[in-house]
Amino acid sequence: MNGIAHAWAALTGTPAVFAAFAGVAWGMLGGALPGISPSIAMALLLPFTYGLDPITAVVLLGAVYVGAEYGGSIPAILIRTPGTNSAAATVLDGYAMHLQGRGGEALGLSLISGVIGGLAGLLLLIVLTDPLARVALLFTPAAYFALGVLGISVIASLSSGSIVKGLIAGVVGLMIATVGTDPLSGVNRFTFGRAELLGGIEFILVMIGVFALTEIFTQSGLPDWDKSRARDTHIKLPSWAMLKRLRLALGLGIGIGTFEGVMPGAGGTIASFMSYNEARRWSKHPEEFGKGSPEGIAAPEAANNVVAGTALVPTLAFGIPGSNSTAILLGALMIHGLEPGPLLLSRNPDVVYGLFGGLLVANLAQLVIGILIMTPAIWLVNRPKPYLLAAIYVLVFSGIYTIDHSLFDLGIVLAAGVLGYLMRWFGFPFLPLVLGLVLGYMIEANYRRALVISNGSHSVFLQDPVSALLLGLAAIFILGSAFRGFRDARRRGAARRESAA
Amino acid sequence: MSRDFYVGLVILAGAALYWTAAGRIPISFLDGVVTASTMPRTLALVLGMLALALMGQSVAARLRNSPAAPAEDGERPTWRQHGRALGMLAIGIGFLAALPVLGYALSVGLLLAVAAFFNGRQRPLPLLAFGLLGAILFYALFVLVLRVPMPGGVWPELPG
């Protein structure tokens, strides 16, 4: 009951409703642009949240995440180019429907499935966050340290590619977090005499550099995406009979999206493809898949919108973001002086329930904005890519300058962009780096507090039961992933030798 | 040796440098059993070990005649793509150099026009219009609406 009161107070006492609508609109436009993922759309807005109250800021960013998931399906359906990774499965049947002159119907299916999935995800988020946050009382400094280590280990082991590279990215993130004045002893670390580095490197600079600038550098070398000729496409919402037909596909999307969302690192892309496959397996009309099946749109769109809600469960309950987008939301919470994790719900229930209320509005706002935004979204997708890249470049620089009015910060963002480009080139995942950076202070402060309490004895991390459990889980994740990598490499080697023979 | 081996070597060198720099962190009177350099030194050690693991993984894969990791492990952009990325970086650095001298509006106009030109829009009139309109729009948004004190450049000082 208190939660509802908090949510109501947030929606009526702050501009959260306006933020939800604005965020959905921005997210849809950003998601509609190929190459602009939900996380990039969120990162571009992050500097502008500094001046907002915490509730409005997190609602704005959460709404961007919600809107971008639908926005990604617009170019997927109209130009066979998914605007976001998680919309890739929608291409299969969405574009086929568009070729049959049913593009408006496909967009309507995507929108309604997204709204249903989003509401289901929100409900699960509310139900799951509260009980998980009750374990807060069990957490000591040693346990918090172990939680941070577990977070980086899980993300590193679930990232695509080598676990070693994932862990290296996480450690580099922790290293960047050590720059600046040590808050516990007051001595300067790695500042090289630069006053600008005394306060450390703000993670927002690295996030925007790694996500947005890396994409700008990469996109500059890629050909322009196709343009839509469907300027007069209008959304056609599905009938009640159609929704009844989609029950199973929607249910599968919601179920798989729930599971994938709460698993850090899995994300909407895997959920949407798994849902697509399962919907085809269980469909009464499997032969229609790939040729314009409504289930082929409903299942993946419901799944990736459920993930947008359930991915917030580990972020809010444990302070471990499972995706790039939730890492940015986590960053936004920390920018406003909030500490995500087990204590967030008890210390700042207004923000958490305000976010829930805002996400409810955002999901419902999709219905209105989704219909209104079609023409501007198609117009935007049809703009020449060179103009869009140039405008985003200016937006990044201007947004960053807004934060501290510092030219030095612009240099840091450019450096982070170069780092992100090199990481992408050499196959290092971004998320462990960002997570290391965001959790760096929490990990180090609790590591040192725990050692002070134990008089320097590292056995405290194994004597504390929660810490021992979490470190054990971290070890299982790392060893399990290393074993899987070893086994896969052996299989690939054997397959290569066989094909050579 | 594969690409990962050399990447591991560079990271190992980075870990050694970081270790050395961590050793120079002063000890504070407020420090207890754990000092400000404890965490950095631990991180340097862990990074060094991970770099060795990456190099070992690369050597083992070579011996097994198998790629170190699946195909998605790292993209393989062409040198032309690297050139484009480098060009965009140079434009960004140019913007940083120009901003305190030329001021926000002019620098933004130039950045818009140069970045669009570099990415393939080469007709001068549309480029000029894009730069001009973009500069007005961004100036209006950030300076007039959001009231951000963007750099004015040398222009305000010239009359004086």
Q: Residue A206: pLDDT above 80?
A: yes
**E strands present in A180-252:** 180-181, 188-189
Q: Which residues of B touch A449 (CB under 8 A)?
A: none
C-alpha to C-alpha distance for A368 and A373, rounded to whole angstroms:
9
Residue A361's pLDDT is: 94
Q: Is B133 on the interface with A (CB under 8 A)?
A: no
Question: What's the mean pLDDT when you consider all of chain B?
Answer: 88
Q: List the single range of A148-157, A217-226, A473-482, B59-68 with lowest mean pLDDT.
A: B59-68
Mutate to test the interface with B, among A168, A452, A453 (most CBs of B within 10 A): A168
In sign, the C-alpha dihedral spanning B91, B97, B100, B106 is: negative
Confidence of residue A1 (pLDDT cuts 50, 70, 90): low
Tokens 């950095």 correspond to what residue?
A: B40
Region A434-458 average pLDDT: 86
Of A410, A426, A444, nearest to B7 by CB-CB distance is A426
Q: How many Cα neighbours within 13 Å face the side chain of A128?
A: 21
Domain count for chain A? 1
Percent with pLDDT over 70 in chain A: 96
Of B68, B87, B92, nearest to A414 by CB-CB distance is B92
Q: Residue B75: pLDDT above 60?
A: no
Q: How many helices (H) and strands (E) does chain A have?
A: 25, 2
Region A300-329 average pLDDT: 85
Give the residue, A37 or A420, on which the prediction is more confident: A420
H or E segment at B63? helix B38-64
Confidence of residue A229 (pLDDT cuts 50, 70, 90): low
Supply φ then ψ for residue A172, to 5 degrees: -60, -40
Q: Which residues of A touch B119 (CB under 8 A)?
A: 220, 385-386, 389-390
Give the residue, B116 or A194, on which the prediction is more confident: B116
Residue A227's pLDDT is: 67
Of A175, A187, A489, nearest to B64 by CB-CB distance is A489
**A306 to A32, A94, A369: CA distances (angstroms):** 19, 19, 19
**A196 to A46, A206, A264: CA distances (angstroms):** 21, 15, 34
Mutate to test the interface with A, among B88, B146, B150 (most CBs of A within 10 A): B88
- Within-domain flag for A289: yes
- Within-domain flag for A286: yes
Q: Residue A422: pLDDT above 90?
A: yes
Length of chain B equals 160
What is the pTM assigned to this prediction? 0.82
**What are the CB-based long-range contacts (under 8 Å, 24+) for B31-39?**
B31/A185, B32/A452, B33/A451, B33/A452, B33/A455, B33/A456, B34/A447, B34/A448, B34/A451, B34/A452, B34/A456, B35/A185, B36/A182, B36/A184, B36/A185, B36/A187, B36/A189, B37/A189, B38/A448, B39/A174, B39/A178, B39/A444, B39/A447, B39/A448
C-alpha to C-alpha distance for B83 and A68, rounded to whole angstroms:
31
Confidence of residue B160 (pLDDT cuts 50, 70, 90): low
Chain A: closest CA distance from residue B159 (Å): 25
Cross-strand partners of A189: A180
Q: List the single range of A208-217, A259-268, A280-289 with lowest mean pLDDT.
A: A259-268
Give the residue, B8 or B65, on which the prediction is more confident: B8
Supply φ then ψ for residue A342, to 5 degrees: -55, -25
pLDDT digits (tens, 9 = 90+) for A332-371: 888 888 887 777 888 888 888 999 999 999 999 999 998 8
Residue B148's pLDDT is: 86
C-alpha to C-alpha distance for A223 and A221, rounded to whole angstroms:
7
Q: How many Cα neighbours within 13 Å face the side chain of A360?
A: 15
Confidence of residue A231 (pLDDT cuts 50, 70, 90): low
Residue A265's pLDDT is: 59
pLDDT digits (tens, 9 = 90+) for B6-24: 999 999 999 999 999 999 8
C-alpha to C-alpha distance for B107 and A482, rounded to whole angstroms:
49
Q: Which residues of A touch B142 (CB under 8 A)?
A: 398, 402
For residue A143, give the nearest of A460, A377, A392 by alpha carbon. Answer: A460
For residue A55, give the nearest of A23, A84, A88 by alpha carbon. Answer: A23
User: CB distance B67–A447 less than 8 Å?
Assistant: no
Residue A311's pLDDT is: 86
Complex ipTM: 0.91
For residue A297, give the nearest of A4, A87, A40, A140 by alpha carbon. Answer: A87
Token couple for A361 = 């509005």
Q: Residue B157: pLDDT above 70?
A: no
Token couple for A357 = 């209320």
User: CB distance A161–B142 less than 8 Å?
Assistant: no
Q: How many Cα neighbours within 13 Å face the side chain of A252?
A: 21
Of B36, B108, B111, nearest to A187 by CB-CB distance is B36
Cross-strand partners of A180: A189
C-alpha to C-alpha distance for A80 and A155, rounded to whole angstroms:
31
Q: Residue A413: pLDDT above 50?
A: yes
Chain A: closest CA distance from residue B6 (Å): 11
Chain A: closest CA distance from residue B54 (Å): 6
The CA-based diameter of chain B, rounded to the nearest angstrom, is 73
Q: Residue B71: pLDDT above 50?
A: no
Residue B72's pLDDT is: 42
For residue A410, give the nearest of B106, B96, B153, B116 by alpha carbon. Answer: B96
Residue A386's pLDDT is: 92
- Within-domain flag for A174: no
- Within-domain flag for A440: no
Mutate to test the interface with A, among B119, B132, B147, B150 (most CBs of A within 10 A): B119
Q: What is the dihedral of CA B38, B41, B45, B47, to 10 degrees?
A: 110
Q: Residue B114: pLDDT above 70?
A: yes
Chain A residue with CA closest to B134: the answer is A391
User: CB distance A390–B85 less than 8 Å?
Assistant: no
Token couple for B113 = 């026009």
Q: How many Cα neighbours within 13 Å face the side chain of A243?
A: 12
Q: Is B148 on the interface with A (CB under 8 A)?
A: yes
Confidence of residue A312 (pLDDT cuts 50, 70, 90): confident
Supply φ then ψ for residue A319, to 5 degrees: 75, 20
Give the residue, B160 or B118, on which the prediction is more confident: B118
C-alpha to C-alpha distance for A309 and A165, rounded to whole angstroms:
29
Q: Residue A428: pLDDT above 80?
A: yes
The boundaries of the domain holding residue A345 are 2-140+202-405
User: CB distance B43–A426 less than 8 Å?
Assistant: no
Token couple for A176 = 């960047």
Residue B89's pLDDT is: 97
Q: Residue A161: pLDDT above 80?
A: no
Q: Residue A325: pLDDT above 90?
A: no
Most confident of A71-85, A313-327, B45-59, B67-81: B45-59
**B7 to A34, A428, B17, B19: CA distances (angstroms):** 30, 11, 15, 18
Q: List the single range of A19-28, A62-71, A313-322 with lowest mean pLDDT.
A: A313-322
Q: Which residues of A touch B83 (CB under 8 A)?
A: 221
Residue A111's pLDDT is: 92
- Within-domain flag for A347: yes
User: CB distance B53–A425 less than 8 Å?
Assistant: no
pLDDT digits (tens, 9 = 90+) for A465-474: 989 999 999 9
Residue A420's pLDDT is: 95
pLDDT digits (tens, 9 = 90+) for A64-112: 999 998 888 888 888 777 777 778 888 889 888 888 888 888 999 999 9
Chain B residue with CA closest to A396: the answer is B92
Whether A39 and A324 have beta carbons less than 8 Å apart is answered as yes
- Within-domain flag for A283: yes
C-alpha to C-alpha distance for A284 and A130, rounded to whole angstroms:
38
Mutate to test the interface with A, among B5, B11, B31, B50 (most CBs of A within 10 A): B50
Question: What's the mean pLDDT when you consider all of chain A?
Answer: 86
pLDDT digits (tens, 9 = 90+) for B136-156: 999 998 899 888 889 988 877
**A344 to A33, A132, A221, A463: CA distances (angstroms):** 34, 11, 43, 26
Residue A416's pLDDT is: 96
